[in-house]
Structure 1
Amino acid sequence: MVATSSPALLKRWIGLNLRQLRQEAGKERSEVMQRLGLSRAQVGHLETGERLPSKPVLEILLDFYGKPDRLPDFLRIVEAARKGKNWWDKLSGAVPPWFDLFLGLEAGAAEVFSFDVYVVPGLLQTPAYAEAVIRADPELTDEQVQQRVELRLGRQNILARTEDPVRLWAIIDESVLHRPRGNTEVMTEQLDYLIKLCERPRVDLQVLPLNAGAHLAQSGGFQVLKFPSEMVGDPGVVYLEGLVEGRYYEKPDEVALYERALTRLRVQAANQEDSQAMLRQAAQEVHK
């Protein structure tokens, strides 16, 4: 059974396991539709975790798949997913609907891989740097800015949790180190913080030099989330963020493409020792 407090990941586990049990039983989705009297979309929502199954639905499905003994486990996880609370619920005004799913998946991730070309990754931002980035939107009120800063800093708790802290591997374009955000003090603090983060055993940070040339991720930054080992068969999720929505890629071939891009970026980026030297050099240049 999956051990997590993230409702989003619990729902994902339920959907993933229902799909796997169906496939192992040799059943087609059309057969499930007929057995439950549901549409293809409704069955699809059950298998993606978008819709939680009721006890009667679980009883029918697990019996149909020849796994009635799994009912107690499923019922416990469904109940936990329904009752689960997210720490960011109090900041609902700062969370667009499309970002809520990402927060839930990120909170339950075992590994986070990211590539950023414009700003320091949100998980590695200082409070002042985060505020400077968020204030780039002149339409936001001071209250909205502070809520979004609080949200961004709250996400960083996954790096410090005592049980199973997330592993973060971040690659940032060298231009990020030289693009001003806030004043000199803000940039100095941010760069110094990145240097300190490099000492953490579960944080890997590489800088992609400006002279690295062409690469597979020239269209922009992205994140790949990988989940705990209990999520057997889950390929992970790729997340791309835009101005009006977030885009998710979850098919195995889609995730694999972005993982290949990450592999190439790691090769083209400076190694960790050289990346730290680039961070120190950038910090010195800020002082000039």
Structure 2
Amino acid sequence: MADVPGPLAAFIVGEIRRARGANGMTQDAFGRAAAFSPSHVSAVEGGTRALTMDFVKGADRALDNGGLFERLVVKLGVPSWFLPWLDAESSATQLRCFQPTLVPGLLQTEHYARTVLRTVDSLTDDEVEQRVKGRMSRQSILTGERPPQFVAVLDEAALRRTGDGLGGIMAQQVAHLIAVAELPHVHVHVIPTGSGLHVGLSGPFALARSTQGLWVGHLENQLGGDVIDKDDEVATLQARWESVRNEALPRRQSIDLLKEVESQHGPQ
């Protein structure tokens, strides 16, 4: 299961520990009720083991609180529709992501992510900051001991957005893309504007391959997102992935284009 974002995890763990104590439950008794070993409970409470959604749900069962902690994570951390994809993403051995209008979340800088999230008028400043922290926390999967192979395809138009105050943010973002693209397990490919129309312009999507070799997809829209796990629908996304990947420039040429775009955005 996906890790709860770090800043939020510390708060949730503290509340779980207090609730356990208020109910007079030892770590052993709590672990049995939550389906985790006492050592696992101790490690989570001590901060040496990540808090996962699996543990949060187990805590809710053990404390019989009607799902309070899961609701807190959803309210304060990430949208509920995104949690199933986080589970798939965090344990994937391979990730494929296509974005025609934005830089993929796993490759965003903090300033870029904040600017994108602030376009959602319904989010408060605190909610924006929580989601920025969560997005930055997600990126740790690319720098862990066994990171997935991550291949991202994005449209050149997403890199050339301009506007008041956006030039410096975009220059920093493109510089970050160039740096990350040099990692051996990260491949960034750009579809040049001259490619014209292609199937990917219908919308963004992502694919994740599990340790068991199974693929799932993710589709995001204006109202939320869906995890795609039906064989025929996954096959359709894989076919579309091949199409957009074939439209993109090779890895080295993509990096050269990124460098050209960076210079046009001006100094960071």
Q: What is the TM-score of this pair, normalised by structure 1?
A: 0.67
The one-letter code matched in structure 1 to 2:262 is: A
Q: Which residue in 2 is equivalent to 1:274? A: 253
Give the Cα separation in 2 of the matches to 1:242 and 1:265.
19
Residue identity in the other structure for 2:116: V
Report the more deviating stretch, 265-274 or 153-162: 265-274
Q: Deviations over 1:224-243 (max 9, x none)?
A: 11111xx25x3x11101122
Spell out, residue by residue over 1:145-192, the C-alpha distance to the aligned partner (whole angstroms, 9 max, x if none): 100100100110110111x21111000011011113753221111110
- Give 1:176's aligned amino acid: A
Distance 1:180 1:91, change over 3 A: farther
Relative to structure 1, is the Cα distance of residues 171 and 80 closer, same or farther in structure 2, using a 3 angstrom cutoff?
Answer: farther
Q: For the structure 1 residues 91 and 150, does the alpha-carbon distance in structure 2 shift closer, same or farther, using more than 3 Å as the test?
A: farther
Cα deviation, residue 91, structure 1:
4.9
The 5-angstrom pairing of residues 102-251 of structure 1 reads: 102-162=85-145, 164-180=146-162, 182-228=165-211, 231=212, 234=214, 236-251=215-230
Instruction: Report if the CA contact (8 A) 1:91-1:147 is conserved.
Output: no
Contact 1:131 1:149 (C-alpha < 8 Å) held by counterparts: yes
3-state secondary structure, aligned to 1:120 = coil
Contact 2:2–2:86 at 8 Å: present in 1 too? no
Measure the CA separation in 2 of the matches of 1:188 and 1:98.
32
**Residue 80 and residue 224 in structure 1: after superposition, are their counterparts in 2 closer, same or farther (change >3 A)?**
farther
Q: C-alpha separation between the residues in 1 aligned to 2:237 and 2:177?
A: 25
- Secondary structure of the equivalent of 1:180? coil
Once the two structures are TM-superposed, the CA of residue 281 in structure 1 deviates from its matched residue by 0.9
Of the candidates 33, 51, 61, which is equivalent to residue 85 of structure 1?
51
Q: CA deviation at 1:119?
A: 0.7
Give the letter for the 1:107 counterpart: S
Q: What is the percentage of aligned positions where both structures have the same residue?
A: 31
Check conservation: 1:91, 1:151, Cα contact below 8 A: no
What one-letter code is carried by the residue in structure 2 that aligns with 1:217? G
One-letter amino acid matched to 2:89: E
The number of equivalent residue pairs is 211
In structure 2, C-alpha distance between the alignment counterparts of 1:124 and 1:149, rounded to whole Å: 13
Distance 1:91 1:132 in 2: 23
Task: State the Cα distance separating 1:130 from its structure 2 match.
Answer: 0.5
Q: Per the alignment, in what secondary structure is the counterpart of residue 217 of structure 1?
A: helix
For residues 123 and 169 of structure 1, what CA distance do their matches in structure 2 show?
11
Comparing 199-208 with 236-245, greater Cα deviation is found at 236-245
Cα RMSD for the two superposed structures: 2.8
In structure 2, list runs of 5 or more residues that go unmatched: 4-33, 42-49, 57-69
Deviations 1:131-158 (CA, angstroms, capped at 9, x unpaired): 0100111222211110010010011011
1:256 equivalent in alignment to 2:235: yes
The separation in 1 between residues aligned to 2:84 and 2:240, in whole angstroms, is 24
For 1:180 and 1:167, how far apart are their aligned partners in 2?
31
**Hey, what's the Cα distance between the residues in 2 that align with 1:225 and 1:132?**
27
Q: What's the CA shift string for 1:68-116, capped at 9, x where partnerless?
A: xxxxxxxxxx946998932797753232211111111111111110100
Residue 245 of structure 1: how far off its partner (Å): 2.2
- Give 2:150's aligned amino acid: L
